Amino acid sequence: MRRRLGLRARKPPIRGNVRDTDPSIMRTLTLSDLSLALPDLLDRKASDFDVTLAAQLYLPRLRMLRAELTALSPHVETAETFVAEISAADARHDGYAGALAGFAAAYLRLPDLPSSDRRALENLRGTVLPELEDARVPYATEANLALERSRTITEAQLQHLERFPLPEGRSLRDVFEAYVAAGRDLDTLLRRRADEAQQSVIDRRTAGQLRARAIGLLTQLREAIAMEFEDDPEQTAAIDRQVFGYIDALHDARTASGPMGTQGTQSSP
């Protein structure tokens, strides 16, 4: 004889049937939703129904799938993360490039600048120092220009830069070296983005497959619980609310914004 499961206190009023076993509820779940739903189900809710036949069949498979998702997630970097990192590196590069251009222009405006310093600085501006317009070119071009200038500049030119002092004991040479380092960092990020973008094609395909498997298993688990307790509608409804209440809340949040929001979540892995 099947024993009734002990559910948590203060259950919501029992409806006579399970809310819905329509697979479309699960299909609205994104990977982010699943990363919240699976721990809730497997860590917090499993003890509420682990004596059922459905749980014995599906919980081990869901635990294995969660492990696969956890192993994959560090390798799926979001576009937002890339944008933030590259924007920060570009801002640092543009800051040093603009400082070099501005300091050089300011020194050349000095009416009593020694002629030898003026000639050296004008030569540097025409060869290795960046211009303000450099900040308007694509990221890759900015990085390439900085690296090219670091290869082109001579030791004599670096020594000329040392003749132009700045606050805190620094000189234009220090700013130039910081500019080159910022360009190198930007180039490294761009190369990493290219490499990871290629890898993400594989990772996102795998993530999409794992998402589909998770949705399929959760749908089957819900249907199996409903079938296992079909002769006890009140118990079925209570277990369903206890086990799948959070997933239903995630679904409601996804559909609250209307058809366009729902379509977006269904198509995303």
Q: How is the chain split into domains, by residue range?
A: 23-75+198-267, 79-190
pLDDT value of position 241: 87
pLDDT value of position 198: 60
What is the residue-level pLDDT of the chain in tens, covering all 269 positions?
A: 344 444 433 333 333 444 445 556 788 888 878 888 888 889 888 888 888 899 999 999 999 998 888 777 555 545 567 778 888 999 999 999 999 999 999 999 999 999 999 999 999 998 899 988 887 888 888 999 999 999 999 999 999 999 999 999 999 999 999 999 999 999 988 888 776 666 665 577 788 888 899 999 999 999 999 999 989 889 888 888 888 888 888 888 777 644 434 333 333 33
pLDDT value of position 133: 84
3-state secondary structure the chain: CCCCCCCCCCCCCCCCCCCCCCHHHHHCCCHHHHHHHHHHHHHHHHHHHCCCHHHHHHHHHHHHHHHHHHHHHHHCCCHHHHHHHHHHHHHHHHHHHHHHHHHHHHHHCCCCCCHHHHHHHHHHHCCCCCCHHHHHCCHHHHHHHHHHHHHHCCHHHHHHHHCCECHHHCEHHHHHHHHHHHHHHHHHHHHHHHHHHHHHHHHHHHHHHHHHHHHHHHHHHHHHHHHHCCCCHHHHHHHHHHHHHHHHHHHHHHHCCCHHHHHHHHHCC
Find out whether 54 and 221 touch, Cβ atoms under 8 Å: yes
d(CA 14, CA 28): 25
Find out whether 130 and 100 touch, Cβ atoms under 8 Å: yes
∠ at Cα 228 (55, 58), nearest 5°? 20
CA distances from 202 to 70, 184, 214 (A): 16, 28, 18
pLDDT value of position 116: 93
